Amino acid sequence: MRKILLILAFSNLLTSELILEITQGTEDPYRVAILKFEGDQKVSNDIDKIIRNNLMRSGEFNLFVNKDLLSLPNNETEVIFNDFRILDIDYLVIGKIAKDGISISVVYEIFDINKGKKIRTSTVYGIPNKNRQLGHYISDGIYEEITGMKGISSTKILYVTENKNFNLIVADADGSNEQILLKSNDPIISPTWSPDSKKVAYVSFETGLAKVFIQDIATGERELAIENSSQVSSPSWSPDGKFLSLTMYQDGNAEIYILNLKNKNLTRLTNHYSIDTESSWSSRGSKILFTSGRSGSPQLYELDLKKSNARPKRLTFEGNYNAKGSYLPNSEGIIFVHRSDSNFQIAMKYFDESFIRPLTDAQMDESPSISPNGNVIVYAITEKGMGLLSGVTLSGVKFRLPAKKGAVREPAWSGFLR
Amino acid sequence: MLIFKNKLGFIVVLIFLSSCTSMNITEENVYSDNVKTVEASSESLESIQYNNKAVLTNATVYFEFDKSSLTSRSLQILKSVVEALNENLSVTVTLAGHADERGTREYNLALGQRRAEAVSSYLYLNGISKDRISVKSYGEERPAVTGQNERSYARNRRVEIN
């Protein structure tokens, strides 16, 4: 889906819950009836809210609730398809919650109204007091069954907050369930996920010099990626998890290297007197995208790792600032920061097109990160001097994610966790 | 339906039939998101180094946007820094490069480094031994002043000499 629709205005509430206002969704949304799940009322209310928020945020659904409907079937035998066809509804979702002591499981069924049959039965086993996770899994199942694309509700985002000190935070993709990975008095930048989403790498200035650290999310164990006297920055994991590309300043200038995480061997990728940094891998790991100042202004280049002595190929030609690029998950194009007049905005370029597509229109947009299904881009904006996160889907839905206090920046989307 | 005689066609028909009749049945367990919070011990090297510094060598030089070349004003300032260093041979300097907030953070980190290296080169070419100079960059992470205007940006594109 390549249609980018125009985006208008947004609400301005200040809580850490996702601020969501659909300014323009798709022209032809799926019409889906989701009945209130039967069983424990608290669990039912919790997951109902989460499923609705998740599906609405995608901008691809028009949702119907119990009061909109003509009949409320409890099970498959009670479904009267005509009652839904009259309302022009495409899909029906019903579910049951089973609570046995502390364990919770949810069985839900999806019916294709037009075909007049059940198309999915799923059971999700939850963790006590984590109804949110349960809701995310169910909405991802519904999303996947109906759109054919994997859902991202149960994915996570990393970001950095600044409020007197600096925190590296992991949260659900909707901004809820925030947990602190690292607290520091010094800046943290460039957080990124390992491909299995169990570790993170980031740049911390805690030693007085920029250094790349690798940290295990569950255990908190962390180590320097490279122990030397050089400044080290801009980490990016290879898709197989075996290598980390990064920027080092050993000879005084930013150059890109690949670190073998097992034996700690370093391979130098660039050798130029101008700045080379912000490396990131293609989804198959055969190419590296990076920012270089070699043309006199920052532009994006691509290096083919399969060819020996390959020369970097320049990818961007429009404007005098194109930086911090990353590949789309299908590697059909790239997203990056583009300077247009004096504004920095997020832009996209497909390889089979000769022009770039601006995705945002503020003044200081940066650090774009794309969801693993390739459908949503989260990025950092500055508004009234304060940093916050914003997102845009390829179907034109836009949302924002400000913090309760302080500035938010440097978002990074995880891979699929399911 | 079975008009396909070749092997490939037969497979196509089978896939078509199976996609018509199959229903998705899944079972899954939710991911337990355990997170351990870590506190960075901020034993900054700076605090140790500040002790034997002569105030004479403290100075700041400024740069143009996306540039690391020294201006004539900067050269004047650096000249007096060289003099102060020549008069106080035990004194070492740290050159911390900075960028304004426009542009990407990693590119600005590299740009801050280039600015600090430009100052370092000047000092070295004017007879200051390399082991008296240490170079680092904070990119855009430690602005001297806040504000989204050219005046603030200009004051943040700098190398601090301490």
* Interatomic CA distance for residues A293 and A258, integer angstroms: 20
In order of their start, the domains of chain B are: 49-161 (3.30.1330.60)
A167-178 pLDDT tens trace = 999 999 888 888
- Residue A64, number of CB atoms within 10 A of its CB: 19
According to the model, what pLDDT value does residue A90 have?
A: 97
Helices vs strands, H then E, count in chain A: 3, 30
Q: For position A170, what pLDDT does the model report?
A: 95
Q: Residue A124 to residues A52, A53, A194, A300, B33: CA-CA distances in angstroms?
A: 17, 19, 26, 43, 16
Residues of chain A in contact with residue B117, where contact means CB-CB under 8 angstroms, are 252-253
CB-based contacts of A93: which residues, under 8 Å, 6+ apart?
A32, A33, A34, A35, A108, A109, A110, A111, A142
> Helix or strand or coil: residue B102?
coil
Interface subset of A 213-252, CB within 8 angstroms of B:
215-220, 222, 231, 233-234, 247, 249, 252
Which residue ranges in chain B fall short of pLDDT 50?
Answer: 1-21, 44-54
Residues A17-56: tens digit of each pLDDT:
445 555 555 678 899 999 999 999 999 999 999 999 899 8
A74: helix, strand or coil: coil
- pLDDT (tens digit per residue) in A338-368: 998 889 999 999 999 999 999 988 889 999 9
Where in chain A are the domains? 19-147, 156-413
Q: Does A47 touch chain B (CB under 8 A)?
A: no
Kindly tell me the burial class for residue B6, based on how many C-beta atoms sit within 10 Å of its own C-beta (0-12, 13-18, 19 or more). Answer: exposed
List chain B residues with CB under 8 Å of A216.
36
Alpha carbon of A195: minimum distance to chain B alpha carbons (Å): 16
The answer for A 156-215 residues in CB contact with B (under 8 A) is 156, 170, 177, 179-187, 189-190, 203-210, 215
pLDDT 10s digits, A222-263: 999 999 999 999 999 999 999 999 999 998 899 999 999 999
The answer as to CATH 2.120.10.30 being correct for domain A156-413 is yes
Size of interface A-B (CB pairs under 8 A): 193
Q: How far apart are CA A5 and CA A27, in angstroms?
A: 10
CATH architecture, domain defined by A19-147 = 3-Layer(aba) Sandwich (3.40)
For residue A137, list chain B residues with Cβ-Cβ distance below 8 A.
28, 30
A138, A160, A165, A234: best to mutate for the B interface, most B CBs within 10 A = A234
CB nearest to A183's CB, from B39, B113, B138: B39
What's the whole-number mean pLDDT along residues A61-70? 94
